[in-house]
A = this chain, B = another copy of it.
């Protein structure tokens, strides 16, 4: 099942390179195993729009709350369902 997750990052100014490297590694591992299906930057803002494909809301929470940047984020979650007019590719179903 899919969830749209919108994340806005509020990092205090400073050097966060180690934290950001961990965030990147964490994010790419989830993208590779297919659970973080899409990841886009919101143009002009320190924010992203993501689509997660997980088995349960519990799994979604485990993944999102495990983000190294989680303590610095405002997060909005929207549960998605199949749209009756969607022509999804087989992988999307």
Q: Which A residues contact B (CB, under 8 angstroms)?
A: 1-5, 11, 13, 23-24, 27-28, 31-32, 38-46, 48-49, 51, 56-58, 60-61, 64-65, 70-72, 75, 77-87, 92
Contact = CB atoms under 8 A, between A and B. Distances in A.
A32 B71 CA distance: 30
B71 A44 contact: no
Contact of A3 (B4, B79, B86): B79
Nearest to A4: B49
A46 B65 contact: yes
A31 B78 CA distance: 22
A31 B89 CA distance: 10
A78 B65 CA distance: 16
B4 A43 contact: no
Contacts of A75: 44-45
Contact of A82 (B11, B24, B41): B41
